[in-house]
Structure 1
Amino acid sequence: MTGRRRGPTRAELEAARDRLLPDVLPGPDGPPLRVLFSGINPGLVSAFTGHHFARPGNRFWPALHASGFTPRLLAPSEQHLLPALGLGITNVAPRATARADELADDELVAGGRRLVELVHATTPAWLAVVGVVAYRTAFGAPKAVVGKQEATIGPTRVWVLPNPSGLNAHYTPSTLAAEFAALHACASGDLSD
């Protein structure tokens, strides 16, 4: 044995399809929720590990750090540290899939309604949906683009970020980090919003 940790087997990943990934949210005594990040849905690696954005090659955690949201690069297993920073994570759709394009539009629309309910319950300053195509479908906004949206959910402002999946070749790590940094500046009050 080499001592190297192996990744999950295909059978283990397939068995994870029925697992729900809990939201990462501050408790009642925690700091206010500045930004609630919403992925499209859990990938199979995330469902298997119980950690958001856990697939190797996903650039969420590096972008979060490079943009200034976290003081150091966190591993997915350290997601529990986010609430102390005023950050949370959820998903539009709860069903785990190997690829986001396995979701039906009605799942995204239903997930959008659930996300609106969660935002009303947690009142983050910002909702950041990670994936413009999913946002367009879930919120009935076919012309939405990456960046700050005109739409709000009560007092919560909405921002759309690019999908950080390594499969999204439209964004390099640095351009992805720049998009996260623009949100960070607004969420920190550094820019007029």
Structure 2
Amino acid sequence: MKDILAPELDVLFCGINPGLSSAAAGLPFATRGSRWWPALHRSGFTPRVLAPAEADQLPTWGLGLTTMVRRPTTKAAELTRAELVAGAAELTKRVHTWRPQWLAILGVTAFRAGYGRPEAIVGPQDLRIGETKLWVLPNPSGLNAHYPPQQLAEEFARLRRAAAIPDRSRPAGDPGNDESPPA
């Protein structure tokens, strides 16, 4: 599965690793019930729910997508600590190369293991990679029962607001959209 990258993105999202269905399709978050695409839209990052085949459009909105570990599995829990540590090292190299404003890792357990931060929680982190700020988001997998869809979208929206990205899920003149693009 290929990365969706461009120089100096607003947010580079990082999944833990591809699921088997996504790897077979060659598309990110390609499972039928994927919660990633709806969360991205409901949180205001995109103007509509994108299909996995439209992932290459993410840079249009200053967004990118990569994975920490390249090996596909049924569940992220199948990955070893060594794979997560090696994946974090490779991810760090990508971040140094592409220099996004924010790196958003989709899974606190993977972040803890990969970056040796056992006490990390969902939200902004004190770690930076160069000038890139880090934020940990909940894993959007349907196996993550701790975060139902609405709460998942709310966590994504916290990052969007911190990154000063306007709410693209509503028209600019919508009274519910009181956010304006950064100057």
TM-score normalised by the chain length of structure 1: 0.84
Aligned partners of 1:189 and 1:177: how far apart in 2? 15
Residue from 18, 37, 41 that aligns with 1:61: 37
Residue from 111, 115, 121 that aligns with 1:135: 111
Aligned partners of 2:164 and 2:36: how far apart in 1? 19
Aligned CA-pair RMSD: 1.4
TM-score normalised by the chain length of structure 2: 0.88
Structure 2, gaps ≥5 residues long: 167-178
Residue from 9, 22, 25 that aligns with 2:2: 22
Residue from 89, 92, 97 that aligns with 1:121: 97
- Give the aligned partner of residue 46 of structure 1: 22
Aligned partners of 2:161 and 2:125: how far apart in 1? 15
Count residues in correspondence: 167
* AA matched with 2:5: L
- 1:82 maps onto 2:58 in alignment: yes
Contact 2:45–2:165 (8 Å) recurs in 1: no
CA distances 1:139-160 after superposition (whole Å, capped 9, x unpaired)? 0000000000011111000000
Aligned partners of 2:156 and 2:2: how far apart in 1? 23
CA distances 1:92-125 after superposition (whole Å, capped 9, x unpaired)? 0000111111111100000000000000000000
CA distances 1:2-26 after superposition (whole Å, capped 9, x unpaired)? xxxxxxxxxxxxxxxxxxx110112
- 1:162 maps onto 2:138 in alignment: yes
Identity of aligned residues (%): 55
Superposed displacement of residue 188, structure 1: 1.7
Contact 1:57–1:165 (8 Å) recurs in 2: no
Asked which structure has the greater CA Rg, the reply is: 1
Structure 1, gaps ≥5 residues long: 1-20
